[in-house]
Amino acid sequence: MSNLAERKARLIVHGETPYNAEPPLVRLRAAYLTPADDFYVRCHGDLPAIAEDEFRLTVDGAVSTTLKLSLHDLRSNFSHVVVTATMQCAGNRRADMRVVAPVSGDPWDGGAIGTAEWTGVRLADVLREAGIHDGADKHVAFESHDTVEGHPYGVSIPLAKALAPETLLAFAMNGEPLLPEHGFPLRAVVPGYAGVRSPKWLKRITVQDRPSDNPIQANDYRLYPPDVTAETADPAKGHTINTMPLNAVICEPMRGAELTVGTNRIRGYAISGDRAVVRVDVSGNGGRSWAQASLEHDANTPFAWTFWTIALDLPAGEHELAVQAWDEAGQTQPSDPNDTWNYKGYLNTTWHRVRVSVT
Ligand SMILES: Nc1nc2c(c(=O)[nH]1)N[C@H]1C(S)=C(S)[C@@H](COP(=O)(O)O)O[C@H]1N2
Ligand SMILES: [Mo]
């Protein structure tokens, strides 16, 4: 197995502390299941080192029995499930929002996303073992071992999503124990939601009446209109980003590629948090005309990305490739980053555009 330094060398590193990195897009498109070595890493604080035999998960709050579970307890007392799911940062494609105005945060290209086969136990099974108290508007709060600006990392999800069959406490990724940077020994995987709601290095799960008051949940990862600035942002008025929107990215060729006149293969991914991607259109002329790509779809993976391919005939010259996906509700993506710009640079879903020159 590789070590962290070797894995870092494979990625485009946006920051060392906290460690943030993404793979080049061509490598991301090479395999439907992203190898752990090529999987983007998003950290808010330190990288905690946790010894497997000292690990305990506490489950408490509005439950009948407080649980303290070792990794062995989790593995042996609950059924194992495998879910293929895409993890995606709410800041994926943020870099392209900078054409409008500066945004805060790391300048992610389209690689803050990856798909894995996650193995673990259902969060629902663990919560039922603890016995959830009745009550409608409940939330499941998570606390982790890493520290972010003096607080432990913490977020929450609505109880309904916590009880959904796809929501896991995962101990393995693509059949191997989690790597340290992906949350060893245990993380949540909340398919369809922004990556921020899938805490790594889990420590505590609390059932409660309100969302987590941790700053990450209470202040960060909110979507604001374009006129809101860092100075005027009021988290109470921001929309909490949970379910991820429809998006699509051209992975191949990459920006600035030099292509040859004739048929060229264009490939990429499309994704939607809770709807099926039904169509992907690709343009060779900046969106004036479109052709339909073929989808490589696996019907058994509703929470994972769709890979697409198209062969385009490109004449000599400078061209702007563009992509837009369509979902089962007939929704598609905005064309212009001005339409969705926000100072945090979240949820950039505008047409992904790639300039190439053809000779
Ligand atoms: N404990 C903890 N969990 C975390 C984070 C973190 O910084 N600390 N980052 C979150 C964010 S914003 C994302 S996008 C995903 C990234 O998961 P990955 O690094 O395994 O790709 O982890 C989430 N879980
Ligand atoms: Mo993220």
- Residue 297 is predicted with a pLDDT of 76
Given ligand 1 and candidates 168, 198, 205, 216, which is best to mutate, with the most ligand atoms within 8 Å of its CB? 198
Residue with CA closest to ligand 1 atom 20: 182
Give the model's pLDDT for residue 329.
96
Residue nearest (by alpha carbon) to ligand 1 atom 10: 196
Pairing of strands 277-283, 294-296: unpaired
pTM, entire model: 0.97
Residue-level pLDDT, tens digit, the chain, 359 residues: 689 999 999 999 999 999 999 999 999 999 999 999 999 999 999 999 999 999 999 999 999 999 999 999 999 999 999 999 999 999 999 999 999 999 999 999 999 999 999 999 999 999 999 999 877 789 999 999 999 999 999 999 999 999 999 999 999 999 999 999 999 999 999 999 999 999 999 999 999 999 999 999 999 999 999 999 999 999 999 999 999 999 999 999 999 999 999 999 999 999 999 999 999 999 999 999 999 999 997 777 899 999 999 999 999 999 999 999 999 999 999 999 999 999 999 999 999 999 999 99
Q: Which residue has the tokens 């709807």?
A: 275
pLDDT value of residue 1: 61
Q: Closest Cα to atom 6, ligand 1: which residue?
A: 43
Cα-to-centroid distance, 292 and ligand 1 (Å): 34
Give the Cα separation of 322 and 159 in Å (integer). 39
Token pair 């949350």 is found at 183
Q: Which of 42, 189, 240 to mutate to test the pocket of ligand 1 (most atoms within 8 A of CB)?
A: 42
The CA-based angle 42-352-112, given to 5 degrees, is 10
Distance CA 149, CA 46 (A): 10
Which two tokens mark 28? 């991301």
Complete domains list, the chain, with CATH: 4-240 (3.90.420.10), 247-358 (2.60.40.650)
Burial tier of 279 (Cβ tally within 10 Å: 0-12, 13-18, 19+): middle
- pLDDT at position 133 is 86
